[in-house]
């Protein structure tokens, strides 16, 4: 039961030769196959062998070499969470936090690690595309896909399982996605605003190269028809853009009595702009948000908004991704949204 320890120059002087499965097998007095079977579920391993292996692992401090394992299983055991946005957005927008938390949690249940990558620049996107397709991950969760961004096409072309958060404009048929029912959520909000007696209802949309942007605008139009163009302004989901868009709206349509702002963060900016213009919320102008994120409760007044089911969205995204990894065809999941009434409308 001698453990041979040949001197292996490992490219690093600092760590002593890392124990391999052969070392464990030698210490345990069994074959490498038995150690491997123990590690992979313990089927077909006798009680005595199991105990010997357990002891040997403890003694040697063995940790599996994931590269060797992945080389044969063709599985990495991790997936990428790709945020294709300027890095600041990650930190400013609480929605990403919600999604990240949900996905991490659901993946952990499958013992899969989530790797967060921020693709802020085009150079990033290239490097990440290469990295992701080099086998490092089994698939990718693509957050915040913009029409015309080449990343999705790249990943798809290279055969990497992908699921997009939100409807992937132009790829609805061949890419899996999970989305909240943005259009219906928008309808609910606008109908609610009308039911409260508002008649001049403006909208601050999201970016119109994303499904959240176009679908919520469509929902608004479902209720109000092709409204006065002066009532429609676009933002980019940041608080600053909500503030600027609202100022513009007040300028174009000073008589408006309500605004549907397509994200809570932008709605916080809208409230600030209204205050600055001397309009009371909700007495002079009612404000409806979208997301039901943390900022909806910290804003004064608290925001009436549309709840997105973040946890379910996360769970569905993960489920769809793992299905793709297992070879299933793409699928889409649409989740209902819900009106949450607070103080702003």
Partner DNA sequence: CTGAAAGCGCTTACAG
Q: Which is nearer to a copy of itself, 90 or 227 (CB)?
A: 90
Pairing of strands 113-118, 78-83: parallel
Residue 75 Cβ, how far from DNA at the closest point, in Å?
8
Helix (H) or strand (E) holding 306: strand 305-307
Place of tokens 């290469």: 130
Chain length of the chain: 345
Residue 339 Cβ, how far from a copy of itself at the closest point, in Å?
26
Place of tokens 């609480």: 94
Name which of DNA, a copy of itself, none residue 246 binds, using a CB cut-off of 5 to 8 Å depending on partner kind: none
For residue 326, state whether it binds a copy of itself (rule: CB under 8 A).
yes
Residue 3 Cβ, how far from DNA at the closest point, in Å?
13
Near a copy of itself by CB under 8 A: residue from 24, 76, 175, 256: 76
CA separation for the pair 57, 63 (Å, rounded): 8
Q: Which is nearer to DNA, 44 or 300 (CB)?
A: 44
# binding residues, a copy of itself (CB under 8 A) = 57
Q: Which residues bind DNA (CB under 7 A)?
A: 8, 18, 20-22, 30-37, 39-40, 43-46, 48-49, 62, 64-65, 68-69, 71-74
Q: Which is nearer to a copy of itself, 19 or 213 (CB)?
A: 19
CA separation for the pair 248, 242 (Å, rounded): 10
DSSP string, 215-241: HHHHHHHHHH-S--GGGEEE--SSHHH
For residue 117, state whether it binds a copy of itself (rule: CB under 8 A).
yes
Cβ partners under 8 Å of residue 52, min gap 6: 28, 29, 30
Residue 68 Cβ, how far from a copy of itself at the closest point, in Å?
5
Name which of a copy of itself, DNA, none residue 278 binds, using a CB cut-off of 5 to 8 Å depending on partner kind: none
Residue 33 Cβ, how far from DNA at the closest point, in Å?
3
266 contacts 237 by C-beta, under 8 angstroms: yes
Name which of a copy of itself, DNA, none residue 46 binds, using a CB cut-off of 5 to 8 Å depending on partner kind: DNA
For residue 54, state whether it binds a copy of itself (rule: CB under 8 A).
no
Q: What are phi and psi of 202, to 5 degrees?
A: -90, 170
Helix (H) or strand (E) holding 324: helix 310-325
Q: Which of residues 134-163 bind a copy of itself (CB under 8 A)?
A: 134-136, 158-161
Q: Which is nearer to a copy of itself, 100 or 231 (CB)?
A: 100
DSSP3 helix / strand / coil % (the chain, rounded to 5): 45, 15, 40
For residue 68, state whether it binds a copy of itself (rule: CB under 8 A).
yes
Cβ partners under 8 Å of residue 36, min gap 6: 21
CA separation for the pair 76, 88 (Å, rounded): 29
Pairing of strands 338-340, 305-307: antiparallel
Residues in the site for a copy of itself, rule: CB under 8 A?
A: 10-16, 18, 61, 63-68, 70-71, 73-76, 78, 87-88, 90-91, 94, 96-97, 100-101, 104, 108, 111, 113, 115-118, 123-124, 127-128, 130-131, 133-136, 158-161, 324-327
């Amino acid at each position: 039961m001698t453990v041979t320890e040949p001197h292996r120059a490992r490219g690093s002087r600092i760590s002593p030769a890392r124990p391999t499965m052969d070392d464990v097998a030698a210490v345990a007095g069994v074959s490498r196959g038995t150690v491997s079977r123990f590690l992979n579920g313990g089927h077909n391993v006798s009680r005595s062998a199991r105990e010997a292996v357990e002891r040997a692992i403890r003694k040697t401090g063995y940790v599996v070499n994931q590269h060797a394992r992945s080389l044969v299983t063709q599985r990495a055991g991790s997936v990428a969470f790709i945020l294709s946005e300027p890095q600041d957005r990650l930190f400013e927008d609480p929605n990403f936090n919600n999604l990240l938390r949900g996905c991490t949690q659901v993946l952990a249940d499958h013992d899969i690690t989530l790797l967060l990558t921020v693709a802020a620049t085009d150079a990033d996107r290239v490097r990440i595309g290469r990295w992701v397709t080099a086998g490092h991950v089994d698939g990718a969760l693509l957050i915040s896909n913009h029409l015309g961004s080449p990343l999705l096409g790249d990943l798809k072309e290279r055969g990497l399982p992908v699921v997009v958060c939100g409807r992937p404009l132009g790829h609805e048929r061949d890419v899996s996605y999970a989305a909240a029912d943005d259009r219906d959520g928008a309808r609910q909000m606008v109908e609610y605003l009308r039911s409260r007696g508002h008649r001049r209802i403006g909208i601050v949309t999201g970016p119109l190269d994303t499904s959240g942007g176009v679908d919520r605008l469509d929902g608004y139009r479902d209720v109000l028809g092709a409204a006065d163009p002066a009532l429609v302004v676009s933002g980019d989901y940041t608080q600053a853009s909500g503030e600027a868009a609202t100022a513009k709206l007040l300028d174009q349509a000073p008589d408006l009595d309500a605004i549907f702002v397509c994200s809570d963060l932008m709605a916080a900016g809208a409230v600030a702009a209204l205050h600055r213009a001397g309009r009371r919320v909700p007495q002079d102008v009612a404000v409806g948000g979208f997301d039901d994120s943390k900022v909806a409760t910290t804003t004064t007044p608290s925001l009436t908004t549309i709840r997105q089911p973040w946890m379910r969205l996360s769970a569905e995204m993960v489920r769809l991704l793992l299905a793709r990894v297992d070879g299933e065809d793409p699928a889409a999941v649409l989740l209902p949204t819900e009106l949450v009434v607070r103080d702003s409308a």
